[in-house]
Amino acid sequence: MSQFISKKNFEQLKTLAYKTIKVKKGMFLFQEGQIGENFFVVLSGKFQISKFSGDGKELCLRLCGPNAVIGELMIFSDNGRYLFNGRALEDSEVLAIKNEDIEKELLANPEFAVEFLKMMTDHFRKQHTKFRDLVLYGKKGALYSTLIRMANSYGIQTKEGILLDVPVTHQDLANFSSTSRESVNRELNTLKSKGIISFKGRKIIIHSLDYLKKQINCEGCPASYCNIE
């Protein structure tokens, strides 16, 4: 759930749903370019929001767990096509809400409308920071940014550093950074040799989040934007 929607209005949002959908692991709930008139609230499971590039590579943008609102950026659009792919990483369940129903609710409930607008602004800003990292700071910036986001979303503080407590492969990191597995591998190993990170089994421990942040001018950006959700 977005920090910007109050509990009351979030419950209200959920009452607008007209059905629940079960999505099996690996299946797409929606795909970019597809016409659709729903958006969704995740009830259980996990979704990956991504785009495909011209040559078939997948650029991952968000990981969404329970209470995330997904597929919402096509609301109010002329042609109503999804901008992204939403794929279940685990067996999942979502609430489906019709776009037209949300519009009715927004007209009827201005307080809700303002909160909804805040939530969308929030999503936009998240996406914007991702965009900035990718375009303005290159592949390395994108990888650092991904590590920082994962730390904010899944990091647990240990005495050695911040442990990224998610099973994530180099290929996954590459998908989030629009780069190649090999490049991720090399970059991680240079970071390791600099003492910025280290490995615990397959997981990553970050010793100096500050170093990563400094490289991409990520000063003072609140953890609420700078996450992977």
Q: Which residues bind a copy of itself (CB under 8 A)?
A: 4, 51, 53-54, 59, 73, 75-79, 83, 103, 106-111, 113-114, 116-118, 120-122, 124-125, 127-128, 131-132, 134-137, 141, 178, 216-217, 220, 222, 224
**H or E segment to which residue 193 belongs:** helix 181-193
- Min dist CB 70 to a copy of itself, Å, is 15
Q: Is 180 exposed, middle or buried (0-12, 13-18, 19+ CB in 10 A)?
A: middle
Spatial separation of the C-alpha atoms in residues 54 and 113, rounded to whole Å = 36
68 or 173: whose CB is closer to DNA? 173
Q: Whose CA is closest to 20, among 45, 50, 55?
A: 45
Candidates 140, 221, 224, 225; binder of DNA (CB under 7 A) is 140
Residues 181-200 contacting DNA, CB under 7 A: 181-183, 185-186, 188-189, 199
Spatial separation of the C-alpha atoms in residues 168 and 92, rounded to whole Å = 19
123 or 130: whose CB is closer to DNA? 130
Residue 92's contacts (CB-CB under 8 Å, 6 or more residues apart) are 22, 23, 25, 29, 42, 43, 44, 45, 46, 47
Spatial separation of the C-alpha atoms in residues 150 and 147, rounded to whole Å = 5
Q: Whose CA is closest to 153, among 225, 72, 50?
A: 225
Return the one option of DNA, a copy of itself, none that residue 186 interacts with (CB less than 5 to 8 A, by type).
DNA
Told to check if 37 binds DNA by CB under 7 A, we report no
Return the one option of a copy of itself, DNA, none that residue 37 interacts with (CB less than 5 to 8 A, by type).
none
102 or 228: whose CB is closer to DNA? 228
Q: Which residues bind DNA (CB under 7 A)?
A: 55, 138-140, 169-171, 178-183, 185-186, 188-189, 199, 201-202
